[in-house]
Each structure stands twice: as C-alpha cells, then as structure tokens.
Structure 1
C-alpha cells in the first residue's frame, strides 16, 4: 500500500518522547508551575513575605539556640550561616523529591482525562521547589553580607552550580519513585524516610572533618560521592567560606567530586526516565 504524504506525521497515541516533550510543551509547564506557586499562599495576607520571614526566623533560632546556648560557634565559626546554607539546598532537594514522587497521584484526575507529557509533573514539582527556595537563598546571602561576605566570582558561581546539581538529581529520583508510586504507594513512605535522613547524610549540621576523622578513607570517599554532599559544600563554599572562619577548609577535591556527582545525577535522571517510560502506559489504569 502506498503511504500518504502525511503518514510520517502520525504517531501512536500516548507515545511520548520523554523530557523532550516537556521542553516542547514549556508553555504548559509554565502554567502548571505558576498555578502551584500561586496556590502556596492563596488566602494569605502577607503572601510571599512569609518566604522571607521563615528563613530569617530560622537564622535567629540557630544563632541563639545553637550558636550561643550550645556554643557551637566555638567549633564552627558563623555556625548559624553554615547550617542555614546547608539546610537551604537540602530543603530544595527534599521538596522537589517528595513532591515529585506524589505528583502523578496528586494529578490523577488530569492524567486519566487527557494525554500530556506525564514527565511534566515531576519536572514542575522540581521547578516549584526551586521557586520556593530562591527567597531563602536571598535571605542567607543578605545575612552573609551583613557579616562581611566578600566572595569571588568562582564562589558566587558555586551557588547556582549546586542548585543545578540538586535539580537534576531530584528530578531523576522524582520520576523514578513517582512512576513506582502509581502502582505501589509504599514508595511514598520510603521516600519520606529518605527525606528525613537527607539532612544527616551530608555536612549540614556538622563539618565534613568530623566524618573524615571517624570513618575509613574509602567510606569517606563514598560519603563524598553522595550528590548532596558536594551540593551542600558548594553552598558552604559560596556563602559561608568567604567569611574566613577559623581553621576551615572546603571539602577535599570538591570540584572533582562535584564532577562525579553530576555523572551520578545524570545517570539517575536517565534511569528515572527509562523506568518512567516503561511504566507510564499503566498510569491511567492504576490511578
């Protein structure tokens, strides 16, 4: 049979091209992100002001309770800034990962009614988390400026580099566990455990030297291969390290392990996309 001129344009219904479809439907992605960010403070009098108040209150609590009362400033200079910088990037990861895992279930009604790139939901969850993180970064930077922050261009570049690293890593995990969560809702509970442990799996509450002094060298190398560890240290390098605390050094081989972290993050993204693509044919049925 002779093929018509438009046959090449026909595709099997519901067959997508993964993350490429998200890029081609970026106008729809922007609408979803805008809707989710507006819902966050709907009905609130102060609205987005709360996004700046919360990290400021966090800083005051850390400064007084941890830095002064528990005297942690003696072990780590500017401890409140140190911990707030680390918590900022880990909070971004936790929100993007957890919301990405729930995104398909939360949008079940839309998925069952029409076809659109399903990867859009984990990706939009990551972007919403990024939008929610920006005010906290602004607050941390403003506080650091008050304490004499004078970074180099490389140290400033470390901040967006850490954000990109976590964005890729969290999106891959969100797609992977989000696809599994459609059929097995236990995945959501498992993710909650990972999120709970994430803040302790990287040098947020403590300095990396405490880990290096307690574990064998090979285990410390594994610790540094966790993408969250170089991401947290990139934030410390950009925001906290320019304050020149006493006897402090950035994570050994920070840039080398950042490169390996990006390899890991991209691999997780590829695995997440592969599993997502394999399971998405059952999404409407299982939801």
Structure 2
C-alpha cells in the first residue's frame, strides 16, 4: 500500500513520461504517428501471405483471425522487450533524482498499451468495412481482457526491467524469447490444433487464455467463458505480484549497478 500511495503521488510524472514516449516514438520520421497503424498492417500482410497462400492454415477469413490476436501480441511483446530497458535508458535520471523506480516500466508499458488501443481503431475499421460485424454484447468484455493483459504485461515488464539492470544480456535474450513465445501462443493458429497431450502444458502459457478471449469476442463474436477470463486474471495477478516483489528487492542497488 505504501508503494501504491507513492506511485499515486507521482502520477503526473507517469503521465508526462507516457506523453513523451508517444510523441517521440516516431519523431523525425516522414510518416510519423501513422507508423502506429502501418506496423501491424504490414505484419498482418506478411503473415497472411505466408499462412493463407504458402502454408495454407485453412482458416476462414484468416486475416481477421490473425489480426485480432496479432495486435494484442505486439503490445505484449513490446512491453516485455521495451520495458526491459526502461531503467537503463533513463539511468541518468535514476542516478540524479529520487522517484519510485517503478514509474519507468509503468510509463513504458502504459504508452505501449495506449498504442495498442489506437491500433484497435484499425481492427474495428476492418471488421466494419469488410461487413464481418461486431457483437455488441461480447464487446463489453473487451475492456476486461485488455486490463488483464495490461496487468500481465506490467508484471513481466517490472521483472525484466529489474533483472536487465544486473544482467545486460537479458535485453537480447528477451528478443529471442518473445519470438519463440509467439509461436507457443495461439496467435497464428487455433487452440484446437494443439495436440491433446500438450494442452495442459500449453495452458500454463499466461497469454493463451488472453488471446483466446480476444478471438472469442472479435472473431467468433461470442461472449467469452468466465472460466477463461478468471484463468487469465489469476495468472496476470500472480505475475504482477512476483514482478513487484522482485523489482522492490532489486531496485535498492540500481544506482550502484548503473
């Protein structure tokens, strides 16, 4: 509670860092903020060509099947890899002034989350323009799964940010881990395609129920199962709890390590 109260008192600093990150993300580029929408669209195009034309996944309207899961995954992976360097990239600030160090990974994950929300405008646009449609009742569950994913991403972001200060190679290892993690998550394929004997292990992946819920709401247009939401919520809270504890213990020696 003490940490939460302190973070609340520094909320203006968090908002300021979020605005700074969003403005500076594509600063100096010709297309600027449009890259927020272009990046997921280009990735969608590549994966659609590979899995619809070359490897043929055999899934109806595969571009929609993929898109509604790809955007949340991009947020999650960027929160991990970018969050890992959030302390290192602001080491001058960490050395010179006092503030809750959690502010830095929180601000980065939050700016990535806002970026994802903007990308969802593209998803809704595609669903409407193509005539695929939206289930309004199911859509009420979308903010819930977004919050759950944010909690999970923040937990891993705190953990990776603290560990990277001590193990600099983790920054590069996480790039490989997130790439492998994507293929172990049902982003480009259906859960039904996983062999039955691997399903229990597969469900240990905290992103599995989150992607399933996104797809239920936006692709299958059905109300997600409460058990799936609870599974995702419990895993998210557990990861955030662990990440917060590890960060609190390791931050004591950040200045010495930097």
| TM-score when normalising by structure 2 | 0.91
The correspondence for 1:46, drawn from 12, 27, 31, is: 31
8 A contact 1:18–1:119 mirrored in 2:
no
Q: How does 1:1-287 map to 2 (within 5 A)?
A: 17-68=2-53, 70-72=55-57, 75-211=58-194, 214-216=195-197, 219-242=198-221, 254-287=225-258
Shift of 1:260: 2.0
Q: Distance in 1 between matches of 2:135 and 2:5?
A: 36
- Structure 1 residues without counterparts, runs of 5 or longer: 1-15, 243-248
After TM superposition, give the deviation of residue 62 of structure 1 in Å.
4.4
Contact 1:101 1:181 in 2 (8 A): yes
Are the equivalent residues in 2 in contact too, given 1:59–1:81 (CA < 8 A)?
no
In the TM superposition, what whole-angstrom CA distance separates every residue of 1:20-78 from its partner, at most 9, and x where no partner exists?
A: 42222111100001111111121233321222233334444445554345543xx2111
Partners of 1:27 and 1:262 lie apart in 2 by: 28
Aligned residues: 258
Alpha-carbon distance between aligned partners in 2 of 1:49 and 1:71, rounded to the nearest angstrom: 30
Residues 209 and 229, structure 2, Cα contact 8 Å, conserved in 1: yes
SS at match of 2:143: helix
Tell whether the 8 Å contact from 1:230 to 1:257 is kept in structure 2 after alignment.
Answer: yes
When the two chains are superposed, the root-mean-square deviation of aligned CA atoms in Å is: 2.2
**Contact 1:158-1:235 at 8 Å conserved across structures:** no
TM-score by length of 1: 0.82
CA distance 1:181–1:54, change in 2 (3 Å): closer
Cα separation, 2, equivalents of 1:152 and 1:55:
23
Q: Which runs of 5+ in 2 are unaligned?
A: none
Distance in 2 between residues matched to 1:126 and 1:113, nearest whole Å: 23
User: 1: CA distance between counterparts of 2:50 and 2:238?
Assistant: 40
- CA distance in structure 2 between the aligned counterparts of 1:179 and 1:57, rounded to whole angstroms: 32
Deviates more, 1:18-27 or 1:276-285: 18-27
C-alpha contact (below 8 Å) 1:123/1:171 kept by paired residues: yes
Q: Does the 8 Å CA contact 1:227/1:258 hold for their aligned counterparts? A: no
Q: Residues 227, 21 of structure 1: CA spacing in aligned structure 2 closer, same or farther, 3 A cutoff? A: same
